[in-house]
Structure 1
Amino acid sequence: MISNDKAVHDVVYRAGTAARMAGLPVETLRVWERRYQLCDTQRSAHGQRLYSAEQIERLGLLKQLVDQGHAIGVLAGLSRTQLQLILGRHREPQAAYASAIRTVVVGSSLPRRLVVIDCAALGLEMRVRCASLGELEQSELDCEAELLIVEQSELDDTLLPRLEAVRARMADAAILVLYRFSSSAAIRALRMAGCLVARMPADLGELAPLCRLALQGQRIPLPAGPPPVPAQRFDEHTLATLAQASGRVNCECPRHLAEVLMTVGSFERYSAQCAARSPDDAELHAALQRSAGQARAVLEDALERLALAEGIPLPPYLANGT
């Protein structure tokens, strides 16, 4: 069902929804709550945590700061205002914008996140919001909007004709497509049709300039090639050592994560060997090798953070930040 903006300050969300809106894995939220008691949350009749919009915004701030390298143990006791000061995210007043962009917003989480942070602070006026493109297609669309923002996790060939049909009903409004995964071909087709296509920003403060670019008919160029794969940081011996190490609490996560990393690293090396000896599918195996390497790098970051949190000694070259 499509609805207009309304006050949501009294609305509460369960942990899974709150985590998605804040950009956190729900498992991370549970660990943070267990260790640091982040929020004075309400409880449902069944004992489930319930989060307010303000609490979700604070979780989003914590996530951004942790991603920048701040320790969650230091941040956990700070207020939302203190977190905003550290982040340096002073919102521009609405008056700083010549006029708010009248928008229709489609997506599973983006509309709710914009309500939580007050989209007017980004220079946006959300005329209509809905959870899916199918829902939008079935609507009357009697609003006047300049921009259609579509949040789509994966892009495919069916999206473009649907967007064109919706745009025809919106007096040729500009279109901004935000995605998480996509082929270069799907992105290129959307851009050739006049859509601005960009990865979903982790910080919604980055959304305002994207909206302005969409209205101006600007384009974001495709990357020249696949992103480089970071070098391996943990060798087999180090992973085996970390798997056997004891932390401050009785937790087997370091062992499990080290074992997963050994498996991913092994698959990365195996894919490289397949690419070298199988010319017919070398491109496929090279892509698998890159994907495994990127996954390994993410897991290595997680293992290093986990080891630091649990007090597990790291090799000198990691402990010194080199």
Structure 2
Amino acid sequence: MKDISTSANAPLDGVYRIATVSNLTGIPVQTIRVWESRHAVVQPTRSATNVRLYRRADIERLSLIKAAVDAGHAIGTVASLTDRQIKARFKFNPVRAAQTTQRGCRVVVCGTTLGARLATAWGDRTDVRLRGVLPSLTDAGGTSTGVIDGPVDAVIIEASVLAPSLPAAVRRLQETTRARVVIVVYGFGNRRSLARLDDANVIALAAPADPAQLARICLLGLSIAPSAPDTFSELLVHPVAPRRYDDAVLDQLAQVPSRVQCECPNHVADLLVRLNAFERYSLECESSNGADESAHAMLYRASGHCRAILEEALTRLMAHEGTPAPEA
């Protein structure tokens, strides 16, 4: 591998850690490492502390390779092909990427200074559209304020300092907007803060960030369909789905008489109420207890995924009974 000399705290312009690459491409970290060692799919650089660093060209190639493998082709048959050969042979043209380009990637920015820069830089672009600018999460006390006009594909957050409470605030914003891509552009931060953002599936870029690079990351992230996780560890790196039913709806469902020969719908609604409460509890614990923050982050994501599965089960059960979801 190539070597690149960087100090421990120096910003790395245009390069990404393996966890971020995994989030962007949908390829598990271990799979990326195997593809490098066995098939030389990409050759990342190394930092002075021996950390893998990937460039945008590496991310694009990994995305192409994954598209071919997902189509049923063995990694050994495509690893030696050039990017052009892969595109020609497998006609790599994700439907999601085409749809995103057609309507424009819908972006919300938290931070007025960065929002003004992107509004000017993206003024003539049609592939990315600025849907709104909200106050910075740090200025707003860790909450998003303002009105967001319509659906959001990506959120870009301006943060002068990576505060300990930022990851939890970012997740709340992601749940509100349902954005698939979340980027934090930061001024100062330590390795621990960056690791926490990686754990939260957030892409961290040192300021100043190039507007064209931010647009490219948003579009690339949306063009990659999430892959199904194979293990518990892989499951936890996938974003937690937003809540489908609020507490008021679940309370009504818990009281609705069931048409099946049991009270399963009522029990599932009760379980969801408790899971929602535990999910919120885990998030608050992660914010307040620094010593155990990684464990609480794991519990937060695990309970969120369990909640999403039970929500889907409840939806199918109601469809089976012909019972529409009550209004909140």
TM-score (norm 2): 0.34
TM-score (norm 1): 0.35
* Structure showing greater Rg: 1
